[in-house]
Structure 1
Amino acid sequence: MSTVLRVLTGLLALAAMQNAIADDKYPSKPVTIIVPQAAGGANDAIARVIAQKLSEQLGQTFIVDNRPGAGGNVGTVVAAKAKPDGYTLMITADSSMVINPSLYKSTGFDPVKDFQPVGTLATAGYVLVANPAFPAKNVAELIALAKQQPKKIYIGSAGNGTLNHLIGEMLGKAAGIDLVHVPYKGASAAVTDLVGGQVQVSVQSLPSSISFIKAGKIKVLGVVNEKRVPALPDSPTIGETVKGFGTTPWYGMFVPAGTPKSIIQQLNAEIAKALESKDAIERLAGVGCEPFKSSPEQFASLVRDDLPRWAKIVKDAGATVD
């Protein structure tokens, strides 16, 4: 009898150990990815590609949860306060993390202290686009027209404090023109009104605008990125007209500070695997984005370098939100 009891006890102990290992396996339940921008924009498009790939690779559901507001601050604060257990992630644009701290008196979060970088995901093409009926066909003609008609040209953005808004402010400052900013609740709403003619121009990511460009519903005046983008190889950059102008937005994944390093390393490895897959590369290219991989350490360095760089850009542009 004692031998039987010892065997049973051993089996129970083994089962308990196996259950503990199973419980420790990450992820063992659905994971939420907070996207602090509205659906339809670049960050949302990238997040959905990554969420699908992670779901396939890890066998758990990765749910995209859009939390827009205050230029990304609303969702970012939610992510910063989440439990650091790996089940709340954030995929965000560079604007929320390295630009907002210079735009707002208070964002409600510290981009360095409240988060740990997991890895970069992609860069996106950004374009200055116009309604087809708008007389200017390129950046030079827009500048000439805006100087003839100051405060007569309306430029739509995805909202106050968004990257779209700031790039428009930067362009106005660099070109010496005064455009009237019209903020919307998301990129999709801005594009809709641009197509309808309620605003004449807008800065948009390619994910939110490329289908309209291909359909001829809006036209490209210039590319915001430092270099021409593969999705629009014949479209010149704004910097080819306005010397020194240009920026290439990046998107990345963060987790709340205190998240176990093992989870961060696992997520980084899975992201790298996802970004190497043919279907992810094709899906990103289809919306004007390109994979951009980094280690957590490289990403942390990028954030630290970009914070002062954007602080100077914001100051020089004279852009404010509060």
Structure 2
Amino acid sequence: MRSFTRRGLAAMLAAALPAAAGAQAWPARPIRFVVPWPPGGLNDLIARHFNDRVSARLGQVIVNDFKAGAGGRIGVAEVARAAPDGLTIGMGNLGPLTIFPNLYKDMPYDVRRDLIPVMMFAASPLVLVVNRDLPAQDVAGLIALAKARPAQLNYASIGIGTAQHLIFEMFRVKDGIRMEHVPYRGAGDSLLAILGNDVQAEFETLPSILPAIRDGRVRALAVTTPERVPHLPKVPTLKEVGYDIEVATWYAVIVPARTPEPIVERLYAEYTAISRSPDTQAFLAEQGLIYLPNTRAEFAARIASETTRWAAIIADRGIKVD
């Protein structure tokens, strides 16, 4: 019996060695990092900064593969369909992972079933800004003005069902205001609209709107992060002015479901180390971004809670897309 046990143990160890060796060898080939947006923008800049540094730590090239379209859904679906071997990973954010599953009937992936969220490596505060000639110096003033002029003020967003749109729907629920929603194709178009007074207010990402705030073309009333941002130290948070609203448009690493746990843990460790490094902190500050420390469990919980929040507001307001 003893010799059989030893032989059986030896066989089990021998069978396990190739698998263990394969795990230790990861990544044996270049890693494809799917970016669900076009090259040349902020997503591109973030991906290149992080992946250049993570690839040096892994000893293997990370190749950025841009798969734009459908607000990020095409690229995220590419990650969801990939082999779970750690050689195809990608970037996800607020829209494709938490809002769109509640907005579109025909989703090409299921976030909980098909993906593993690894970590959130950067985040952008949203800033509530108004046309500089609007007689509203703070959030209370904007709400009062909207109540005094029902359906006469417009607000911009970068599309139906985006965070920029849904936060104003939260205002509508809390305060009963009636402002008209005008969706635009992107931040450039919405900025031109607010400068031209075609719309009077909008929430916009800090990197996109910061130059216009600094040169006085728009007035900042509040930020959506839990704490004030260093770039706008005099601008209060929404929580400071009485709104229990916290929103950040974040950028995260995602991998296909069933990716081996050691690989997921290694990715978490390497991207987190780069996020906390001094040169990355300087890079984020320069871009108007922040890093929100997060464990894997905290990030997964954030996705779940945000998905629930957006589902409620979308259902309550009857928001639909064609």
Q: What is the RMSD computed on CA atoms of the aligned residues? A: 3.1
The code of the aligned residue for 1:65 comes to: F
Worse-matched range after superposition: 248-257 or 112-121: 248-257
- Alpha-carbon deviation of 1:154? 2.0
1:175 to 2:161 alignment: no
- Alpha-carbon deviation of 1:213? 1.6
Alignment of 1:303-314 (within 5 A): 303-314=303-314
Which residue of the partner structure matches residue 64 of structure 2? Answer: 63
- Alpha-carbon deviation of 1:36? 4.8
The code of the aligned residue for 2:224 comes to: V
Which residue of the partner structure matches residue 221 of structure 2? Answer: 221
CA contact (8 A) 2:32 2:62 kept: yes
Which residue of the partner structure matches residue 271 of structure 1? Answer: 271
Which residue of the partner structure matches residue 280 of structure 2? Answer: 280
The code of the aligned residue for 2:54 comes to: L
Worse-matched range after superposition: 215-224 or 243-252: 243-252
Alignment of 1:118-157 (within 5 A): 118-157=118-157
Q: Deviations over 1:96-152 (max 9, x none)?
A: 212322233343321100101211213321111123233322212211221222222
Which residue of the partner structure matches residue 36 of structure 2? Answer: 35
- Alpha-carbon deviation of 1:286? 2.5
Which residue of the partner structure matches residue 193 of structure 1? Answer: 193
CA contact (8 A) 1:83 1:256 kept: yes
Which residue of the partner structure matches residue 104 of structure 1? Answer: 104
5+ residue gaps, structure 2, are: 1-17
Cα gap change, 1:84 to 1:300, in 2 (>3 Å):
same
Question: How far apart in 2 are the matches of 1:172 and 1:92?
Answer: 29
Question: How far apart in 1 are the matches of 2:67 and 2:198?
Answer: 26
Question: How far apart in 1 are the matches of 2:317 and 2:288?
Answer: 27
CA contact (8 A) 2:169 2:313 kept: no
Which residue of the partner structure matches residue 80 of structure 1? Answer: 80
Matched position secondary structure for 1:207: helix
Which residue of the partner structure matches residue 9 of structure 1? Answer: none
Question: How far apart in 2 are the matches of 1:38 and 1:146?
Answer: 39
Which residue of the partner structure matches residue 203 of structure 2? Answer: 203
Q: Given the two structures, how large is their TM-score scaled by the length of structure 1?
A: 0.79
- Alpha-carbon deviation of 1:31? 2.3
CA contact (8 A) 2:38 2:66 kept: no
Cα gap change, 1:308 to 1:105, in 2 (>3 Å):
same
Question: How far apart in 1 are the matches of 2:174 and 2:106?
Answer: 27
Which residue of the partner structure matches residue 7 of structure 2? Answer: none
The code of the aligned residue for 2:203 comes to: V
CA contact (8 A) 2:157 2:202 kept: yes
Number of residue equivalences: 301
Cα gap change, 1:222 to 1:68, in 2 (>3 Å):
farther
Q: Deviations over 1:55-75 (max 9, x none)?
A: 444452442626242x44343
CA contact (8 A) 1:119 1:296 kept: yes
Cα gap change, 1:28 to 1:196, in 2 (>3 Å):
farther
Cα gap change, 1:252 to 1:80, in 2 (>3 Å):
same
Question: How far apart in 2 are the matches of 1:179 and 1:78?
Answer: 38
Question: How far apart in 2 are the matches of 1:37 and 1:145?
Answer: 38
Which residue of the partner structure matches residue 3 of structure 1? Answer: none
1:94 to 2:55 alignment: no
Cα gap change, 1:109 to 1:259, in 2 (>3 Å):
same
Cα gap change, 1:305 to 1:177, in 2 (>3 Å):
closer
- Alpha-carbon deviation of 1:236? 1.6
Matched position secondary structure for 1:130: strand
5+ residue gaps, structure 1, are: 1-16
% identical aligned pairs: 35
Cα gap change, 1:45 to 1:190, in 2 (>3 Å):
farther
Question: How far apart in 2 are the matches of 1:51 and 1:193?
Answer: 35
Runs of 4+ aligned structure 1 residues displaced above 6 Å come to none
Matched position secondary structure for 1:173: helix
Matched position secondary structure for 1:136: coil
Which residue of the partner structure matches residue 164 of structure 2? Answer: 164
Worse-matched range after superposition: 276-285 or 300-309: 300-309
Cα gap change, 1:245 to 1:30, in 2 (>3 Å):
closer
